A and B are shown apart, each in its own frame.
Chain A
């Protein structure tokens, strides 16, 4: 192990090996269709609570994500309406929109009424069901009389002979009182839904995006077209305002910003790195070779990741740019040594390079066990990218650039390199007494302890994303006008059939009803409240029949006298309603009125393929919940009912994954340490490993002292610090503390890494900037501590 070398490897075989490895990795990627994943939900980890219903939850989230709405506002309703009509006519034919909604169907109310009339003996709200179950005929009768004689009752009395107890109207009333469509401030004005707020009248336009519409901004995106239409309408109508609502708008806006950010951040960092390399090498050749290596590494990494994961998430690209920072180090070490006039550079740098490569790969490898798909993808991408760089430097660069004959060594080459800065840098360290250094390191480590004590390992997604003030105002207006009161807590109910899901929903609904009486929530939205299970429908029908008819299917005496009271002379039409042909339970698959279809679209998830076969799912939404509402507690012992709080669950999962990642990297580091002990000896291994370990602790302590949450993204930054930082200590040990070329190479590596990661700090995206900041701190610390690991 002490004489790690590739000298024995034939140059031609090396190049062939380099070619074969790259060809295989790229060919694998080319063999599969390339697919870019921009679905923001897919990057979120599944929590243990929702693991069982992950696919259903994702289906629901993806569908919700596709719903967008625009409130077209103006002081004058006519102007707002005209603009909304123009918007609808310009977009309704767009292929990227599944449907657009502006006009209210004038028949929808009557269709809904007819549906509930048709199913009057099957579908009833809780009050009627309870009255019937307890044999309270008087209650049914009084309610009907109130409708018949009561003032300003809008009940339809035309079917009184068929439905003397007006059960169809009762059912319709129940729907009207519990429908989410009735809770908002919107009213029908001139055929559209309009609401007023702060002197403005808003007309509601909504749409459902097609399934293939990406959440990421791109040329020709339907939201780009929508924004264009809104801009032109705004120009044509002074005072017109728009409030856009829907997750897709935020995703589109964020990704648009991300695109331009990636462009300028990578543009600036690449320019700075190139200028730095040009300054050091004074020749374009190392730069061209380095850039080509990086391009090849990125492409190889991309291909293989595509092959392994079938698609690549756009976030892998963002974090994957860090491969540039890591792989450039290897090229820098090669060319710095080459430029210093050394011959057979590979043999000089190989041991340090190999150990650095292995330790970094081990850190990435540890991340693949974290159980978070995005992290795994990023790790595979980085591992392959790094492997490609390592092979290019050690096999290809060696073949192309390395001077294998010592006669080729140029005696005074070091003067070609700007060694004044490393010289000054080394001077600072040379004056440090060995004992003093040891004490300083102990004090430094002790100073970190209180900061580590203050550390809060926690990821809060909400604090990582801030909406623009305009988006925030639009969402707040939409929430105010819709007044639905949906919270981040909701339930997913699972069943092997539609019927089973509805039956389980009913049990949950009962429990939520109790919570409502305890003021834990105002109400809840469940499909079974409007279309109960067949079991409940048939039970309702049987109870009603038992209460109203005798065994001969004739009205019981009390009903007969009531029929006489309201002038029903023949009871045949009433009795006919109970014939078996009329009592067919309503199902979700039948043609429902538009008002019910909307609720179905909102709550019914439908069949989902799972490991146990096809399962059916629906969502139940608690509305206007109090701070004490605990969905987990309510779902508690109910089998196949899952409490979902996406943000809370994801935060908990990310925090868990963060801790697990740290533990995994800790284990990886233990392995690294053992390798170092095997290669060197214990004291040297400790000397090398203390640099990245102390640096990582420094980052964590800094976050602790600053009171910043040590979140998932900061932890990824620390893991990277451990992966990269050890290289500096290794290079210093291998090259020697007083070797100017080593100092220059490490300086150059650190600078390029600091530029590429440090530039991420400028990102408006908190996760990216947090990650960049953690790496910046960690690498800076590693760089400053690494000379202390050098051989004296």
Chain B
């Protein structure tokens, strides 16, 4: 049991270390071109769908919350996040706002028109999933490295205020966006794993 725990810690540490390594490689003129090409290639679809698994790790409490479901990213209608487990809910993020539908059908809407803060939030989420380099560049310091399976992009918010909430974001991609890790100001990561991509 102790060995297993140690292994888990080592694996966890390994993931953290390997993800953190991207931050040793700030984007320069040369790597920016490469990054641009990678993003264009990975997001060259009108719509992509698949499965996701989300792992929220609360370091301080040594607790994980896992949820899963399907996603659909459409350049036309935005991002639709359908959680199936542990309960059903759906979230849509697009230019007009953020819409949350819970299992009992109630919809919570935050219009970007009414709330510019959420408009920014919506823009950032869309920029991450649509690979909008100029939008990302305006809000984050960019880092990029090649990996054996593809590439990894690191994003560090430019604003100190935002860094208190989101310390960094790491995106891992091969032919598709495979994984996104968002680490909060306390160092707790939220990992999104994407599988079964279907492009249109």
Q: Is B100 within 8 A of A146, CB to CB?
A: yes
Q: What CA separation (Å) do A765 and B116 show in the bound complex?
A: 40
The smallest C-beta distance from B141 to any residue of chain A, in angstroms, reads: 12
Residue B176, interface by CB 8 Å: no
Q: What CA separation (Å) do A184 and B119 show in the bound complex?
A: 11
Residue A186, interface by CB 8 Å: yes
Report B-chain residues with C-beta under 8 Å of the C-beta of A464: none
Q: Is A146 within 8 A of B63, CB to CB?
A: no
Contact of A183 with B115 at beta-carbon distance under 8 Å, contacts A106-B160, A157-B58 already known: yes
Q: Is A149 within 8 A of B165, CB to CB?
A: no
Contact of A142 with B81 at beta-carbon distance under 8 Å, contacts A106-B161, A182-B116, A191-B160 already known: no
Interface size class of B (residues with CB under 8 A): 35 or more
Report B-chain residues with C-beta under 8 Å of the C-beta of A198: none
Residue B133, interface by CB 8 Å: no
Contact of A183 with B116 at beta-carbon distance under 8 Å, contacts A109-B164, A149-B67, A158-B61 already known: yes
Residue B184, interface by CB 8 Å: yes
Q: Is A188 within 8 A of B159, CB to CB?
A: yes
Residue A452, interface by CB 8 Å: no
Report B-chain residues with C-beta under 8 Å of the C-beta of A148: 56, 65
Q: Is B115 within 8 A of A184, CB to CB?
A: no
Q: Is A151 within 8 A of B83, CB to CB?
A: yes
Residue A470, interface by CB 8 Å: no
Q: Is A160 within 8 A of B161, CB to CB?
A: no
Q: What CA separation (Å) do A184 and B116 show in the bound complex?
A: 7
In-complex Cβ contact of A160 among B63, B89, B91, B184 (8 A): B63
Q: What CA separation (Å) do A184 and B113 show in the bound complex?
A: 10
Interface residues as binary, B146-171 with A (CB distance below 8 Å gives 1, 0 otherwise): 00000000000011111111100000
Residue A227, interface by CB 8 Å: no
Q: Is A158 within 8 A of B60, CB to CB?
A: yes
Contact of A191 with B159 at beta-carbon distance under 8 Å, contacts A107-B164, A149-B67, A186-B116 already known: yes
Interface residues as binary, A107-121 with B (CB distance below 8 Å gives 1, 0 otherwise): 111100000000000
Q: Is A146 within 8 A of B65, CB to CB?
A: no
Residue A177, interface by CB 8 Å: yes
Report A-chain residues with C-beta under 8 Å of the C-beta of B117: 176, 182, 187
Q: Is A177 within 8 A of B91, CB to CB?
A: no
Residue B183, interface by CB 8 Å: no
The smallest C-beta distance from B34 to any residue of chain A, in angstroms, reads: 26
Q: What CA separation (Å) do A204 and B80 show in the bound complex?
A: 35
Residue B125, interface by CB 8 Å: yes
The smallest C-beta distance from A514 to any residue of chain B, in angstroms, reads: 20
In-complex Cβ contact of B89 among A104, A146, A152, A182 (8 A): A146
In-complex Cβ contact of A149 among B56, B160, B185, B186 (8 A): B56
Q: Is B58 within 8 A of A160, CB to CB?
A: yes
Residue B40, interface by CB 8 Å: no
Report A-chain residues with C-beta under 8 Å of the C-beta of B104: 142
Q: Is B116 within 8 A of A150, CB to CB?
A: no
The smallest C-beta distance from A145 to any residue of chain B, in angstroms, reads: 7
The CB with the most chain A CB atoms within 10 A, among B56, B125, B162, B163, is that of: B56
Residue B120, interface by CB 8 Å: yes
Q: What CA separation (Å) do A182 and B184 show in the bound complex?
A: 22
Report A-chain residues with C-beta under 8 Å of the C-beta of B83: 149-151
Q: Which residue of B lies closest to A110 (CB)?
A: B164
> Could you tell me how many residues of chain A have their Cβ less than 8 Å away from some Cβ of chain B?
35
Residue A189, interface by CB 8 Å: yes
Q: What CA separation (Å) do A566 and B87 show in the bound complex?
A: 13
Residue B49, interface by CB 8 Å: no
Residue B38, interface by CB 8 Å: no
CB contact list, A182-225 vs B, under 8 A: 182-191
Residue A154, interface by CB 8 Å: yes
Q: What CA separation (Å) do A183 and B118 show in the bound complex?
A: 10
Report A-chain residues with C-beta under 8 Å of the C-beta of B35: none
Report B-chain residues with C-beta under 8 Å of the C-beta of A106: 159-161, 163-164
Q: Is A151 within 8 A of B86, CB to CB?
A: no
Residue A161, interface by CB 8 Å: yes
Report A-chain residues with C-beta under 8 Å of the C-beta of B162: 188
Q: Is A177 within 8 A of B89, CB to CB?
A: no
CB contact list, A72-120 vs B, under 8 A: 104, 106-110
Q: What CA separation (Å) do A212 and B188 show in the bound complex?
A: 51
Residue B93, interface by CB 8 Å: yes
Q: Is A104 within 8 A of B65, CB to CB?
A: no
Q: Which residue of B lies closest to A142 (CB)?
A: B102
Contact of A177 with B165 at beta-carbon distance under 8 Å, contacts A149-B87, A150-B91, A156-B184 already known: no
Report A-chain residues with C-beta under 8 Å of the C-beta of B65: 148-149, 157, 566
The smallest C-beta distance from A107 to any residue of chain B, in angstroms, reads: 7
Q: Is B158 within 8 A of A190, CB to CB?
A: yes
Residue B140, interface by CB 8 Å: no
Report A-chain residues with C-beta under 8 Å of the C-beta of B99: none
Report B-chain residues with C-beta under 8 Å of the C-beta of A185: 116
Report A-chain residues with C-beta under 8 Å of the C-beta of B186: 156, 158
Residue A453, interface by CB 8 Å: no
Report B-chain residues with C-beta under 8 Å of the C-beta of A188: 159, 161-162
Report A-chain residues with C-beta under 8 Å of the C-beta of B60: 158
Residue A228, interface by CB 8 Å: no
The smallest C-beta distance from A545 to any residue of chain B, in angstroms, reads: 24
Q: What CA separation (Å) do A340 and B73 show in the bound complex?
A: 101
Contact of A109 with B161 at beta-carbon distance under 8 Å, contacts A149-B86, A149-B87 already known: yes
Q: Is B100 within 8 A of A157, CB to CB?
A: no
Q: Which residue of A lies closest to B110 (CB)?
A: A177
Residue A567, interface by CB 8 Å: yes
Q: What CA separation (Å) do A472 and B65 show in the bound complex?
A: 54
Interface residues as binary, A135-170 with B (CB distance below 8 Å gives 1, 0 otherwise): 000000010011011111010111011000000000
Q: What CA separation (Å) do A148 and B83 show in the bound complex?
A: 13
Report A-chain residues with C-beta under 8 Å of the C-beta of B163: 106
**Which 5 pairs of residues, A with B, have the shortest CB-CB distance?**
A106-B160, A149-B67, A106-B161, A158-B60, A188-B159
Q: List 24 A-B contacts (CB under 8 A).
A: A104-B161, A109-B164, A110-B164, A110-B185, A146-B89, A149-B86, A149-B87, A150-B67, A150-B89, A150-B100, A151-B54, A151-B81, A151-B91, A154-B121, A156-B184, A156-B186, A158-B58, A158-B61, A158-B188, A176-B117, A177-B110, A182-B117, A183-B115, A188-B159
Residues of chain A at the chain B interface (Cβ within 8 Å): 104, 106-110, 142, 145-146, 148-152, 154, 156-158, 160-161, 176-177, 182-191, 483, 566-567
Since A142-B103, A151-B67 are in contact, a sample of 11 more A-B pairs with Cβ atoms closer than 8 Å, ordered by chain A residue number, is: A106-B159, A109-B161, A149-B83, A150-B67, A154-B166, A157-B61, A160-B61, A182-B116, A184-B116, A188-B159, A566-B65
